[in-house]
Amino acid sequence: MPTRKRAKGSPVRAVPARETETLEEPVAIYPGSFDPITNGHIDIIRRALRVFPRVTVAVAYNPNKDAAMFTPAERVAMIRQAFADVGERVVADSFTGLLVDYAERIGAQVLIRGLRAVSDFEYEFQMTMMNRHLKPKIETVFMMAGEQYFYTSSRLVKEVATFGGDVRNLVPEFVLQRFGERITKKAGEKRV
């Protein structure tokens, strides 16, 4: 604990904490579409748990523009299934609107963003600066994707799976099963 320099014979006093400092553990959000959650997402979330006591994985969606393969409720369920082993350290949720408004609503101070390549950084840097403009007290932490997931994105995984490609090492087994069910269902709908 820091102390002030004292004159001979005077008692030692701790420097008081500033009123703005808090002893609460930071709440972190990892936002994304997670359509579906991939092993790359899971890697970043598990590594984030080494830094933060709890991570909220927030499924972002726009009900007017969402052309996702899985509904927000299905995506939240898959996230919960992927992290059943860590209990309440990972909270899965969904939201609409501005991320920083959602973060403020749940008391989060940190946004976690995954980076795969330099091209990700440019977009993420712009978003970070806008978020900082809107809510200066919310920080962004960037985490690099694991080398085996540099090329992995939900969009690419969906596209490959839709055309029958092998995505076994890119998503958990239960996601692979849901892909099969969804692709079979969509193929049946097209035939009708």
* CA distance linking residue 89 with residue 87, whole number of Å: 6
Looking at 75, 113, 154, 178, which residue is catalytic? 154
Q: Would you call 133 a catalytic residue per the annotation?
A: no
Provide the greatest CA pair distance for the chain.
91
Q: Would you call 116 a catalytic residue per the annotation?
A: yes
Beta bridge partners of 28: 55, 110
Looking at 65, 133, 190, 191, which residue is catalytic? 65
CB atoms near residue 92 (< 10 Å): 20
∠ CA 72-49-109 to the nearest 5 degrees? 75
Q: Would you call 41 a catalytic residue per the annotation?
A: yes
- 14-43: b (≥16 Cβ within 10 Å) or e: eeeeeeeeeeeeebbbbbbbbbbbbbbbbb
Looking at 41, 75, 158, 178, which residue is catalytic? 41
Looking at 116, 132, 135, 182, which residue is catalytic? 116
Q: Would you call 65 a catalytic residue per the annotation?
A: yes
- The set of catalytic residues is 41, 65, 116, 154
